[in-house]
Amino acid sequence: MQDREEATVAAEIGARIQVIRGQRVLLDSDLAALYGVTTKRFNEQVRRNEQRFPADFLLRLTESETASLRSQNATLKPGRGQHRKYLPTAFTEHGAIMAATILNTPRAVEMSVYVVRAFVKLRELLSSQAELARKLALLEKSVATLDASTRRQFEEVYEAILSLMGPRTRKQ
């Protein structure tokens, strides 16, 4: 039963992982929610411990990246005080783990394990997709000798498979 719960939590975290500037990241608001603190408190601790977050651990998003995320996620809520005052930050896998260490709460420590598992699972999925893409490319080359009708049918199937393999993460 516990394994199922862990898999569910890791899958939920995996769904929050996004691709920004070619890196898989979690947003500060998502990490704050996972670690059981407010985004304001979370970012306060990050600022107090800036030396623990080199450039490869943390990305400060631009206004255009933030606008893109907002439009993709429909994060705007009606009413006063519902919008972020500052631009969000995004944390790579290592940055997310480092964030758990600066918060030093039992929940942050517990959730950091799930964050690691989610990133590892995503890495495994991406590597299996890369292997499948390699095999499909080899198959496509071997189909070149088929007649035109069969080749056209194969290309339709090939395109359908590639569309299913397409990344569901947002690219900036």
Average pLDDT for runs of 10 along the chain of length 172: 68 81 89 88 92 91 81 53 74 86 79 76 74 72 70 74 60 42
**Phi and psi angles of residue 38, each rounded to the nearest 5 degrees, phi first:** -75, 155
What is the helix, strand, coil percentage profile of the chain, to 5?
A: 65, 10, 25
What is the Cα–Cα distance from 73 to 86, expressed in whole angstroms? Answer: 17
pLDDT value of position 46: 92
How is residue 3 written in tokens?
A: 């394994």
CB atoms within 10 A of CB 23: 15
Predicted pLDDT of residue 90? 92
Strand arrangement of the beta sheet that strand 23-27 belongs to? 18-20, 23-27, 89-91, 58-60
Residue 50, pLDDT score: 92
- Compute the CA torsion angle 11, 121, 2, 39 (nearest 10 deg): -50
The tokens of 127 are what?
């590597």
pLDDT of 97 reads: 82
Model pLDDT, residue 170:
41
41/129 Cα distance (integer angstroms): 38
Q: Give the pLDDT of residue 168.
A: 47
* pLDDT (0 to 100) of residue 144: 67
Query: Which residues are 24's β-sheet partners?
Result: 19
pLDDT of 100: 81
What is the maximum alpha-carbon separation in the chain? 66
The whole-number pLDDT of residue 167 equals 54
Question: 20 — phi, psi (to 5°)?
Answer: -130, 130
